[in-house]
Amino acid sequence: MASVNRHFLELQRTYLFTEIARKVKAYQKANPGRRVISLGIGDVTRPLVPAVIAALHKAVEEMGHAATFHGYGPEQGYPFLREAIAAYDYTAHGLDVSSDEIFISDGAKSDLGNFQELFSQDSVVAVMDPVYPVYVDSNVMAGRAGEYQNARWQRLVYLPCTRENAFVPDFPETRPDIIYICSPNNPTGMALSRHALQEWVDYARHHGCVILYDSAYEAFITDQGIPHSIYEIEGAREVAVEFRSFSKTAGFTGLRCAYTVVPRDVTAVDGKGGRVPLRELWNRRQTTKYNGCPYIVQRAAESVYTPEGRVQVMADVEACHENARRIVDALQQMGLTVFGGVNAPYLWVATPHGMTSWEFFDLLLARAALVCTPGAGFGVAGEGFVRLTAFGTPDDTEEALQRLATVTL
């Protein structure tokens, strides 16, 4: 009999979104006339911008003619997109990233989930708490997380991001091999300053760690002091891999396109005293297991870098910021303390009167038919917070604000 990878059986049930759905269903049954609005939505709601639609149409047309048809493309992505990314996201900002260090994919989720394959099974992994669950579960599947006890995996190193440390993780007591950093952060909406990121890069260089830097929300950064790329930090090319996505930047959650930067200088040891460039291993992994992002999707992503594409996409990001500002105002008027929203589409709201995340969730649902995401679902350090997002439509956001105005705490 074939036996399964037992580590899959160790995975914890994703209780968070099932429990939210169960509570919303129960509320809806008891209040059939009341429309529930989600302020917890993690998907974009705006349609693709005209520049992207035009690029899609053109690419689709090309696929219908023998002379311009595209079959399998390069597993690493087409040069036209890799070069556009290198030029606009890096060279234009004075950063040293070349197009052959950029790997195009169908999403940051897949890349973040897959990248851990490159490391030995006994590697020690550090994650921020609260955490985007992909980092944790992909390492559980690989057998790197140890036993699950008291809501924590015993072999993972947790880096709590709390109000006390202003959501900037302190260095751990145990030295990890791999460090996942998500900035701007999902779920806290906070971003690491240049200084904080420099300290983490220095730490990684000193201790021989690799940083897996998830900046899926880079486009939402508005503060001058926040780096858009980890390669703005001195020494990062030696220790950091950067993950970015067109999902939230350009509404590609359904289209699917992202990229991962693996600089030539990032290496890990081979156990025999040698050093192996991770770029070579990732290239090998991708060419073995992946056949590339669709041509038409890569043409669509390329159009995001055209002058009109950039203006249109940034207008959508700005609309999201506008939503965030209005929601923050409404919450502050209720006397709540709110973090995030300035450099990210996420708001991290401290629950009032010592309520738990779920108690505050229940209150907002019962009193205003509003749905949020309880912070406790993202990790131990998320208790006492709820996450709201600014992705809602203008109409839903407007109605949500009116409802919030009627809630007294």
Give yes or no for residue 299 binding ligand PLP (CB under 6 A).
no
Q: How far is it, in rounded angstroms, from Cα 232 to Cα 87?
A: 15
Q: Taking CB under 6 A as the criterion, which residues in 115-134 touch ligand PLP?
A: 132
User: Cβ of residue 124: shortest distance to ligand PLP, in angstroms?
Assistant: 22
- State the helix-helix crossing angle for 15-30 and 357-368, rounded to 10 degrees: 30
**Contact pattern for ligand PLP over residues 23 through 42, marking x by CB under 6 A:** -------------------x
Least separation in angstroms between CB 196 and ligand PLP: 18
Kindly list the distances between the CA atom of residue 105 and the CA atoms of 150, 187, 357, in Å, as whole numbers in the listed order: 36, 23, 35
| 186 binds ligand PLP per the rule CB under 6 A | yes
Q: Is 108 in the site for ligand PLP (CB under 6 A)?
A: yes
Does residue 15 sit in helix, strand or coil?
Answer: helix
- Token pair 């696929």 is found at 63
Query: According to CB under 6 A, which one of 82, 109, 144, 228 is a site residue for ligand PLP?
Result: 109
Candidates 258, 293, 338, 365; binder of ligand PLP (CB under 6 A) is: 258
DSSP state, residue 88: I
Q: Determine the 3-state secondary structure of 21 from DSSP.
A: helix
Nearer to ligand PLP, 112 or 230 (CB): 112
Of all residues in the shown chain, the one whose CB is closest to ligand PLP is: 107
CA 367, CA 24: separation in Å to the nearest integer?
13
Distance CA 207, CA 285 (A): 26
**Cβ distance to ligand PLP smaller for residue 344 or 369:** 344
Binds ligand PLP (CB under 6 A): choice among 40, 77, 107, 176: 107
| 75/218 with CB nearer ligand PLP | 218
Give the nearest distance from C-beta 378 to ligand PLP in angstroms: 11
Q: Residue 108: what residue type? A: A
Instruction: Find the shortest distance in angstroms from Cβ 105 to ligand PLP.
Output: 8
| Residues of this chain, 235-254, that bind ligand PLP according to CB under 6 A | 245, 247, 253
> Which residues, including other chains, have CB under 8 Å from residue 267's CB and lie 6 or more apart?
238, 275, 276, 277, 278
Least CB distance to ligand PLP at residue 159 (A)? 15
Shortest separation between residue 315's beta carbon and ligand PLP, angstroms:
21
Rounded CA-CA distance 251/255 in Å is: 8
CA distance 297 to 106: 9
Of positions 49, 85, 201, 216, contacts ligand PLP by CB under 6 A: 216
**Which segment (27-35, 92-100, 102-110, 150-158) binds ligand PLP by CB under 6 A?**
102-110
Positions in 39-58 near ligand PLP (CB under 6 A): 42
Q: Determine the length of the chain.
A: 409
Question: What does the alpha-carbon distance between residue 189 and residue 167 come to, in Å, rounded to a whole number?
Answer: 9
Q: Locate 183 and state its tokens.
A: 């900035």
What stretch of H or E contains 174?
none
DSSP 8-state code for residue 348? E
The three-class DSSP label of residue 38 is strand
Q: Alpha helices of 343-406 — where are they, by DSSP H?
A: 357-368, 394-405
**Binding window for ligand PLP (CB under 6 A); candidates: 87-95, 106-114, 160-168, 400-408:** 106-114
Footprint on residues 138-177 left by ligand PLP (CB under 6 A): none
Q: Which is nearer to ligand PLP, 39 or 258 (CB)?
A: 258
Helix (H), strand (E) counts: the chain:
14, 17
Using the minimum distance from each CB to ligand PLP, give the nearer residue, 295 or 378.
378
Residues in the site for ligand PLP, rule: CB under 6 A? 42, 107-109, 112, 132, 182, 186, 214, 216, 245, 247, 253, 258
